[in-house]
Structure 1
Amino acid sequence: MGQRAAIYCRVSTADQSCERQERDLTSFAERAGYTIAGVYKETSSGAKLDRAERKKVMALAQARGIDLVLVTELSRWGRSTIDLLNTLRELESRKVSVIAMSGMTFDLASPHGRMLATFLSGIAEFERDLISERVKSGLAAAKARGRRLGRQPGQRPKSDRLAPKVLALIAEGRSYRWIARDLAISKNTVADIAKRYRESKCARA
């Protein structure tokens, strides 16, 4: 039996299809003599954090259910250089390689793979520096325009949004603990809303 491969396909928008990627990767696997352990397809932008199908592939690797992950290109798998490097290292710890259809194999146990990892680490560090620089630059520009950054004193977006519902439940005789559990907020938040309501009522009296 050949090496077990998980086929991973991803498109960025709902009007695109994974059909071509699946067809090309299936043919690639058959030519290479790989046994297809599963086909995983999803629609997700490159920056989106929650990729349910990719998580399934990672779980399969953790369970020693595959030897390889097949992708048409690395941009289909990694969200960024940092993410790519981290997932490659995690897969390598499970003895699983990532192979792109170009024939490029990322096996960090090999000398070639370690060289690529060193190269990717440099790019990842560069990316982190760029992101940090952009954030700092953006904050400085916003500050220069007179914009106040962060949550301002007295601002409680979630608390203020839920206040009417909290007060209605209190009026129904519900306990603070019950309200907190029902609305997925802390008991202290419920108490704070009730306290502000009492204070505002006294101020109007």
Structure 2
Amino acid sequence: MGQRAVIYARVSTSDQSCARQVTELTAFAARAGYDVVEVFKETASGVLAKRVARKRVLGLAQARQIDAILVSELSRWGRSTQDLLESLNRLAGWNVSVVAMNGMTFELNTPHGRMMATMLAGIAQFERDLLSERVKSGLAAARARGKKLGRQPGQRPKSDKLAPQVIEAVASGRSYRWIARDLGLSKNTVTEIMKRHRQRPS
């Protein structure tokens, strides 16, 4: 009996289908000797989408009911580099690997896996730094144009206007403290923005 595996397929929009991913991954599993115990399909786009099927896969991994997660490519599993790294670390603690169809296997308890994790961590930090620089550059450009950055009479609160940037930054793995500093908000304001965002109906 081979390793217990689940197939995880994801598409971005409802007019797309997971059928091709599932067919190709099923064939891949048979060739590689995996015992597929369940197939999960999901339609979700963007880093902020709620991915119920992925949570169910993580639940199986935590319960030690699977040994591997089969995906067509890593972008189908990880929402961002930071998210991918964090999920791989969690899975490593449960001895579960993520296997992409191109044969790339991520097992953080191996030298190769640890090397890949180090590379991913560097990429994630680079992405956070880029986001910070974009925010700072945007604020500097606005000031240079003479735009008043404070709240003006009749305007929406600053927190409402910056909410999309806060949500994007949190999704990329930035801490609330750094986001607050970069956007000129208080940490409590950042926390409140994310609280409102998570309470919205899906």
TM-score by length of 2: 0.71
- Cα distance in 2 for residues equivalent to 1:46 and 1:90: 21
> 1:11 Cα shift?
0.8
Corresponding residue for residue 11 of structure 1: 11
What is the aligned residue count?
157
Q: Equivalences for 1:8-87 in 2 at 5 Å?
A: 8-87=8-87
Check conservation: 1:42, 1:53, Cα contact below 8 A.
Answer: yes
* Structure 1 residues 7 and 151, CA gap change in structure 2 (3 angstroms): farther
Corresponding residue for residue 90 of structure 2: 90
- Cα distance in 2 for residues equivalent to 1:64 and 1:142: 52
**Deviates most, 56-65 or 147-156:** 147-156
> 1:139 Cα shift?
2.1
CA RMSD of aligned residues (A): 1.9
Gaps of 5+ in 2: 158-202
- Cα distance in 2 for residues equivalent to 1:125 and 1:151: 32
> 1:136 Cα shift?
1.2
Q: Match of 1:50, SS?
A: coil
- Cα distance in 2 for residues equivalent to 1:149 and 1:6: 50
> 1:146 Cα shift?
4.0
Q: Relative CO higher for 1 or 2, CA cutoff 8 Å, sep ≥ 6?
A: 2
Larger Rg: 1
Q: Equivalences for 1:47-196 in 2 at 5 Å?
A: 47-149=47-149
> 1:156 Cα shift?
7.4
Gaps of 5+ in 1: 158-205
- Cα distance in 2 for residues equivalent to 1:78 and 1:150: 36
* Structure 1 residues 145 and 72, CA gap change in structure 2 (3 angstroms): same
> 1:154 Cα shift?
7.9
- Cα distance in 1 for residues equivalent to 2:52 and 2:26: 21
Q: Match of 2:14, SS?
A: coil
> 1:149 Cα shift?
3.8
